[in-house]
Amino acid sequence: MEVLVEIPERKMKFFTELVSQLGFKIHKKEKQLSENEIFEGINESWEEIKLHQEGKVKLPLAKDILHEL
């Protein structure tokens, strides 16, 4: 039997360790975004940048984002 489970990237390490401890096999398959999803993401990002430039929204610094990784 196969089961497909979508897991957030930040939880993948924990899930992998858990499944391995239980003796199950993992077959990773990366989700591929459609062209429409990619353009929607770009448009959302562009809108956030515009709001930031207008002073309506404060965006995090790149160093803070990298620190989270």
Instruction: Say how many C-beta atoms besides its own lie within 10 A of residue 15's C-beta.
Output: 13
Give the model's pLDDT for residue 50: 95
Q: What is the mean pLDDT of residues 8-25?
A: 89
> What domain range is 65 assigned to?
33-69
The reply to whether 19 falls in a domain is no
End-to-end CA distance of the chain: 34
45 has a pLDDT exceeding 90 = yes
Which residue do the tokens 């360790």 mark?
Answer: 17
How many domains is the chain built from? 1
66 has a pLDDT exceeding 90 = no
Query: How sure is the predictor about 64, in pLDDT bands with cuts at 50, 70 and 90?
Result: confident
Helical (H) or strand (E) element with 8: none
CB 20 within 8 A of CB 26: yes
The reply to whether 55 falls in a domain is yes
Q: What is the mean pLDDT of residues 39-68?
A: 91
The reply to whether 57 falls in a domain is yes
Give the model's pLDDT for residue 48: 93
Q: In Å, how far from its chain's centre is CA 36? A: 17
DSSP helix/strand/coil, 24: coil
The reply to whether 27 falls in a domain is no
